[in-house]
Structure 1
Amino acid sequence: MFKYKRNQSLLGGAFTTAELIFHAVVRNIRSQHSNAVLAIVINIVQVVLLVSVFYLIMSLLGRFTGVAKIRGEQILFLLSGVFLFLTNIKSVNSIAGVGSGNNPMTLHSPMTMMVMLAAAAFGILYTQLVSILVILFAYNVAVNPIEIQEPGGAFAMLVLSWFTGCSIGLVLLALRPWFPRTVEILKNVYRRMNMVFSGKMFVGNALGGFALTMFAWNPLFHIIDQCRGFIFRNYFPRNSSWEYALWVGIVLTMIGLLAEFYTRKQVSKSWDARR
């Protein structure tokens, strides 16, 4: 009745793990909505609403204050910021919301914490990629043809935004069993701060002095500014660096993994009972 499956080779183990991650990704996407297609549609609507709001804000600011702009498609300028912003924020929330080491899902022998983390991360990446492709295709066909100078570089910045979001979420995940209320506050603070300090409505080259120091700490600002350098032909970012965001992501991933492994050994059901 009960069987224990042992993989005979490294390749077989890789395929088994990949299959497990695939089913966990499907479960995560379906958990957002009973219909997977509607889950993606809801995400698309969120992007469209955000772009519409920021387009209205920039139009009003540009009329009264003369906000600096990049020569090119203004909608593409906004989409590049909103896409990366949502990818980063949703990655943080998804990874930080993964069950702890005593989660009932981890009691099943094939399921591990690393599989759950990978499923949460790839589920967000899949949803965001499909949403981006649908929106860009619809705009290109129905409104105006889109020209992206270096699509490969722009896609790399999208992946980097996802990676840094996952690394930040991993650190918050490790802290959550110890300080659950503090982690919720930190998630909200990070999301609110990035509404402004991600730089999705500003041109990086137009910032200087004190204004630049308000944005330079944020890896998402560097990613968005570099992404616009890959998208627009006449924009060459000089106040940002994608290497900074990459190293921040790597360092936070290492810290998060170490903290998660330690927390998993210490966590107990009694912690939740005391709260």
Structure 2
Amino acid sequence: MEVIKNAKMKNHSNMKIGGEAKELIFIEKKEELLEVLEEAKDFFIIGNGTNTLIKDGKIDKTFITLKRLNAIKLLENNRVYVEAGLDFSKFIEFMEKNNLSGLENLAGIPGSVGGLVYMNGGAYGTEIFDYIEEIEIIDNNNNLRKIKKENIKYSYRATEIKEKKWIIISVIFKLEKGFNKEKVKELINKRENNHPLDLPNLGSTFKNPEGYYSAKLIIEAGIQGHKIGGARISKKHPNFIVNEENAKYSDVIKLIEYVKNNVKSKTGIELEEEIIIIK
């Protein structure tokens, strides 16, 4: 375990925004996490920081990262054990190496395995929960538990884990044979061409309302490219907010509200954030 006091959180956010936290703890074994949780009062589990907007200034909070909890191993019958901190791109590489298939549609999504499972991340008709068998979590009473997928409530970009603020330790996936290398290559190229990956961002800012696409609603509201401070609605993909010129937390918050208000007044549809906001 490594503890960094007065950690500059902008260095741990893909948006490159964030103030100074009381401490940042790197966990290397799940037993260490149980020890930390016994003492920690106000804490937040941060993955790769790819979808987390962190406020500026002093933050009286303990941030805990599981980045170093990143083991992966092949089990019998095309099952794979993955620890929560593993970068999802490494999981895709492991699938290719072992000729396993199922989650190719998610290739190119940034973030950790635990982060994607936490919010039931997905793309192109596939959700990560489609291929989960079992999840190991720490619940609100600091009990380490293994739960079968059928005993966990989940839906579009939502899970019981997120709702109850459980902590994901590891996941067992049940995959199929036949890795689709061409599909992965195609989707990664598509993301690179269509998403503003050259600028700090948090991925999709808003969830897609049922029957609609947030990006299309933002275009229809006529606000694509709008800028507040150093933050801009991406001209490349309108559901991304990018940090163009040393944006502040307040710039992004104002821009989020601007988008929601304009889409609501033009279309009557209320957008909901997909990103996590630490106030």
Structure whose residues are more often helix by fraction: 1
What is the TM-score of this pair, normalised by structure 2? 0.23
What is the TM-score of this pair, normalised by structure 1? 0.23
Pick the structure with greater CA Rg: 1
Structure whose residues are more often strand by fraction: 2
